[in-house]
């Protein structure tokens, strides 16, 4: 069973107090003995791709509690790792995972992370890194997510944290947490999207051959991958048709007809394939297209609303604000590439 959520499970997305991201953004990534190469690679891979694609001048650096080297879970020694001073001018500080026994951060790391947060840096706890962020007290009274295996442990250790097992990541503006392992990619792409807009995030995702964003909670990706496009797959056929006709009536009956399935059969198959209801999926795709048009076209907002299937600017604005925490006009001012 899946719990229906707003697309991407965002909180306070596109906060206007954040930097626009047009200049240098410095990201400090915490490394420790026993960290896996994958967890260290995810933020470096995503954020370094921003620079490689020429989208912005972003810099990443690895740091540890003490400068020197760390040994990964795979047995590799990584040298040249900086100390906690690397966080002093970071715009984003990432804790990409955490020590398996769940110990609290050492005082030197705790102080560095809290100082960075107080200075206005975004703190991102990916996967088990959410536990370390919770230890700082930054998640008290807030929703958070971590790897499904550690959800109960986080809940027991921090009863003031509202642990949500059904989302891929959560963004409070100053603090971000993500679910297990590969969900760190989703959260990092979200950070790119927040600073540089949907078009930039999509370009990074295409280069890395990953989805720009995924629907539903972390459980769906264990057993129910999103179907690939193909004429022999009824759900893929229906979604491909819908993407070409976002301005039209995309009710369940129309989608079921495009899939050549009955209404009930289609709803069950769609949920099983995507972890989302047809209505939620259509809404998310329409918002995707609205963002793209706001960034890359000069169409009036009323026309953007019509093209994307929202009917009028008021409905578009309501959906946009509820999902992204920003009005369409504010979003365009921040991320437009043609104006």
Calculate the average pLDDT of the chain. Answer: 86
Q: Where is average pLDDT lowest: 44-48, 49-53, 92-96, 204-208? A: 204-208
> In which band, very low, low, confident or very high, does the pLDDT at 324 lie, cut at 50, 70 and 90?
confident
pLDDT at 333: 86
Can you tell me the mean pLDDT for 208-218? 66
Tokens matching residue 337: 């590439």
Q: What is the mean pLDDT of residues 316-337?
A: 85
Buried residues in 125-145 as b, exposed as e (16+ CB within 10 A)? bbbbbbbbbbbbebbeeeebb
C-alpha 273/C-alpha 39 separation (Å) is 27
Is 8 in contact with 321 (CB distance < 8 Å)? no
pLDDT at 93: 98
pLDDT band at 198 (very low <50, low <70, confident <90, very high): confident
Q: Taking residues 77-81, what's their average pLDDT?
A: 96
What is the predicted pLDDT for the residue at 226? Answer: 42
**pLDDT higher than threshold 90 for residue 22:** no
pLDDT exceeds cutoff 50 at 4: no
pLDDT surpasses 70 at 213: no
Residue 130 has pLDDT above 60, yes or no: yes
Q: Which fold has domain 7-208?
A: Rossmann fold (3.40.50)
Sign of the CA dihedral 210, 124, 201, 330?
Answer: positive
% of residues, the chain, pLDDT over 90? 66
Mean pLDDT calculated for residue range 188-214: 86
The pLDDT value recorded for residue 18 is 42
Topology (CATH) of 280-335: Arc Repressor Mutant, subunit A (1.10.10)
Give the span between the Cα atoms of 59 and 280, in whole angstroms: 36
Average pLDDT on 53-62 reads 95
Q: Is the pLDDT of residue 220 over 90?
A: no
- Is the pLDDT score of 222 beyond 80? no
User: What number is the average pLDDT over the span 145-149?
Assistant: 92
């Amino acid at each position: 069973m899946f719990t229906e959520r707003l697309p991407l499970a965002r909180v306070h997305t596109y906060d206007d107090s954040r930097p626009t991201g047009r200049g240098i953004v410095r990201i400090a990534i915490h490394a420790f003995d026993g960290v896996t190469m994958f967890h260290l690679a995810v933020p470096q891979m995503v954020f370094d791709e921003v620079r490689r694609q020429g989208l912005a001048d972003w810099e990443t650096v690895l740091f540890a509690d003490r400068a020197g080297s760390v040994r990964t879970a795979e047995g590799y020694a990584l040298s040249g790792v900086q100390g906690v001073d690397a966080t002093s001018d970071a715009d984003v500080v990432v804790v990409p995972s955490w020590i398996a026994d769940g110990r609290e951060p050492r005082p030197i790391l705790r102080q560095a992370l809290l100082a960075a947060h107080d200075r206005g840096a975004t703190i991102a706890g990916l996967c088990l890194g959410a536990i370390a962020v919770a230890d700082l007290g930054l998640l008290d009274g807030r929703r958070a997510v971590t790897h499904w295996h550690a959800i109960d442990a986080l809940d027991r250790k921090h009863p003031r944290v509202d642990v949500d097992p059904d989302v891929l990541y959560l963004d409070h503006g100053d603090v971000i947490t993500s679910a297990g392992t590969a969900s760190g990619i989703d959260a990092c792409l979200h950070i790119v999207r927040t600073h540089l807009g949907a078009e930039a995030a999509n370009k990074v995702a295409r280069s890395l051959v990953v989805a720009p964003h995924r629907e539903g909670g972390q459980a769906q990706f264990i057993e129910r991958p999103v179907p690939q496009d193909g004429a022999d797959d009824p759900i893929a056929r229906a979604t491909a048709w819908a993407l070409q006709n976002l301005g039209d009536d995309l009710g369940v009956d129309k989608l079921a007809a495009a899939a050549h399935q009955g209404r009930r059969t289609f709803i069950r198959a769609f949920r099983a394939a995507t972890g989302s209801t047809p209505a939620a999926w259509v809404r998310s795709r329409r918002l995707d297209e609205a963002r793209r048009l706001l960034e890359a076209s000069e169409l009036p907002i009323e026309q953007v609303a019509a093209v994307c299937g929202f009917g009028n600017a008021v409905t578009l604005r309501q959906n946009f604000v509820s999902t992204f925490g920003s009005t369409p006009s504010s979003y365009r001012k921040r991320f437009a590439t043609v104006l």
